[in-house]
Amino acid sequence: MVHMTGWPKGSADKFLHSTPVAKTITLYPLKSYSFGTKEPNYERDRSVPARFQRLQEDFEKYGMRRSVEGILLVHEHNLPHVLLLQLGTFFKLPGGELHPGEEEIEGLKRLLSEVCYGYIYIYIYIYIYIYIYIVPYTD
C-alpha cells in the first residue's frame, strides 16, 4: 500500500489508483526532428497588475480556468530528454488554456498543433498527476 503525505492530512488518499501503469513508450531520436524559429510569442499583458486584472475578469466571466500541458520525450545518445519551449527568458512545457467545455485530449492536440510546424502524430498516453498540495477553495 502506498501512503502519500499532503495537506490537509489524508487529502491525497482519494487520488490513489490501484491500476498498474505498464505501457511501453517509443522514444524517437532527437535527430528525427528539425528545429526552427517562429515569430516571438509575447505575453498578453504589459504588466503584472494588468495580468491579474485580466485573470480576475476571466474568472468572473468563465469561472475557474483549466489548462493542459504535454511532455515531448526524445532520446539523444540513448538518454531521454524532455523538449521545452522557450518564451522570452524562461522555458515551459507545451500546452495552455482549454476552451470552455473542451476535453483535455482534444485541447492538447489543438495546442500542440498550434506550436509545432506542420502535422505531428500525437500518441496520447494519459498518466494523470494531481498535485496533492492543491485543495479546492472553500468560503
Tens of pLDDT along 15-73? 555 555 567 777 878 887 777 777 766 777 888 899 899 989 988 988 888 889 888 88
Cα(111)–Cα(106) distance, integer angstroms: 9
The residue range of the domain holding 10 is 1-35+68-139
Q: Is the pLDDT of residue 74 over 50?
A: yes
Helix (H) or strand (E) segment spanning residue 83? strand 79-83
In a domain? residue 55: no
In a domain? residue 50: no
In a domain? residue 45: no
Q: How many domains is the chain built from? A: 1
- At which residue does the C-alpha cell 492530512 appear? 9
In a domain? residue 47: no
pLDDT of residue 50: 92
Q: Is the pLDDT of residue 10 over 90?
A: no
pLDDT of residue 119: 47
In this prediction, residues 10-18 reach a mean pLDDT of: 52
In a domain? residue 118: yes
Residue 42 has which C-alpha cell?
509575447
pLDDT of residue 3: 47
In a domain? residue 62: no
Question: How far from chain centre, in Å, is Cα 105?
Answer: 11
Instruction: List the beta bridge partners of residue 82.
Output: 73
In a domain? residue 61: no
Residue 21 has which C-alpha cell?
501503469
In a domain? residue 104: yes
pLDDT in tens, 77-131: 888 888 888 777 778 888 888 988 898 888 888 888 887 755 455 554 545 455 5
